[in-house]
Amino acid sequence: MPNPFIHEASKSESRLFGEVVQALAVALIFNIVVYFLFIIPSQVDGPSMMPNLLDKELLFANKTPSWFSGSPATIKQLGWDYQRGDIVIFDFLNMVLVKRVIGVPGDRIMINNDGDVYLNGTLLYEPFLPAGLTTLFPQASERAFEPGQEFTVPEDKFFVMGDHRDNSKDSRFSEVGFIPRTKIKGVVFFRFYPLDKIGTISRPAAK
């Protein structure tokens, strides 16, 4: 005579297995949606962000702000606009560069002969830079501006520099210049390789 308890246990195990599979499928779909809609992976290429980011490190960037690149008013209203101190990834020619936002639209910037960076008339607080580091100028033929020349960041564009100021091609170079909002792909928020340095990356606190 069949044992009804065994039959019920079998049905229970089958139902549990089905629920686990469904939960895993939902979790997988959720992660795929999050990945494609909100996150973009990137790799540091070269020494331009040393010592904070090293060559070949792997990063995640939040690409939510890029959804509204054609509507600056909306992105500002939502509070998602790119801020000074953000590390961003952006398209440049056939490459994706990783740099730090130094100036936002409307900011006045001046770099003097000593390499001191002034933002809106005040010496810029840059706690992410190594002590004693100097912001050098490109060769005269490659400069986007001259030492001591104050300039204003245009509307919907950003002024960016690498943290390794003597080895970074960035907005100081006329070839790069100001970065249009539409070229920025996302804001770096997480480093997932190497494993001993895994963790979040945030903009430095304002002074």
What is the signed CA dihedral for 88, 43, 61, 108, rounded to 10 degrees? 0
Does residue 99 carry a catalytic annotation? yes
| Selected catalytic residue, list 48, 66, 168, 171 | 48
Does residue 48 carry a catalytic annotation? yes
The DSSP secondary structure of 150-191, one letter per residue, reads -EEPPTTEEEEE-SSTTS--STTBTTT-SEEGGGEEEEEEEE
Three-state SS annotation for 102-113: EECCCCEEEECC
**Assigned token pair, 23:** 């939960």
**Assigned token pair, 68:** 């509204």
| Selected catalytic residue, list 42, 99, 169, 171 | 99
Q: Give the number of other Cβ atoms within 10 Å of residue 83's Cβ.
A: 14
Active-site amino acid positions = 48, 99
